[in-house]
Amino acid sequence: MSFYSVYMRDIGAASWMIGVGLAMQTLVEILLSANTKKITDRFPLRKVYLAGFALMPLRCLLYIINRSPFVGMLIQNLHGFYIFSAFIVGLIVLDMNLEPEWRSTGQSYYYSAFGGFGATFAAIMGPLILEEAGIGVLFAFAMAVSALGFFVISRISGKLIPKSRELLQPVSE
């Protein structure tokens, strides 16, 4: 996400398009978050959790091949699905697997893993890759990292998310 504005400028987008793209992404996040219960009641929790992670490599691939600023604004919406999956549904999964006294600590570690470590790594490596090889290579690298992340999350979530609807209730307080 840190390089969305760099990408958009690279393909000739006007400044307003960058802002609109981010606003549209936020709208996706809000709409999904407001309907979390409906979504998780209708679809298996593991699939909802993995959907956003699965879209990240696709988003990177689309950025690599796209040269239209208007399409770039639409592609950014895929990030909204990731935010919903990782930070809304992911916390539901976490809460299901932790005793009440460990939930806030677990949430802190979880957020640090997804929002801290990854963002810090990207903030250090991203500019280096961008300066040496360009935005396309940067997104190719991000695509590989996000595909690896999807694989890891897919393996871990299979052990954390019960198959039965009765088991989906959070640990009682």
Phi, psi of 27 (to 5 degrees): -60, -40
In a domain, 170, yes or no: no
Alpha carbons 42 and 71: distance in angstroms, whole number: 30
In a domain, 51, yes or no: yes
What would the pLDDT profile of 48-72 be if each residue is shown by its tens digit?
Answer: 999 999 999 999 999 999 999 999 9
pLDDT at 62 (0 to 100): 97
In a domain, 72, yes or no: yes
Alpha carbons 75 and 68: distance in angstroms, whole number: 10
> What is the number of domains present in the chain?
1
pLDDT at 164 (0 to 100): 44
In a domain, 41, yes or no: yes
Q: Ramachandran region of residue 125, left (φ > 0), alpha (ψ -120 to 50) or beta?
A: alpha
Does residue 45 contact residue 161 with C-beta atoms inside 8 Å? Answer: yes
Low-confidence ranges of the chain (pLDDT < 70): 1, 162-173
Q: What is the mean pLDDT of the chain?
A: 89
Q: Which domain holds residue 134?
A: 4-165
In a domain, 171, yes or no: no
Alpha carbons 173 and 164: distance in angstroms, whole number: 21
User: Is the CA virtual torsion 88, 157, 121, 137 positive or negative?
Assistant: negative
In a domain, 111, yes or no: yes
Does residue 55 contact residue 122 with C-beta atoms inside 8 Å? Answer: no
pLDDT at 159 (0 to 100): 83
In a domain, 16, yes or no: yes
In a domain, 172, yes or no: no
CATH of the domain at 136: 1.20.1250.20
pLDDT at 167 (0 to 100): 47
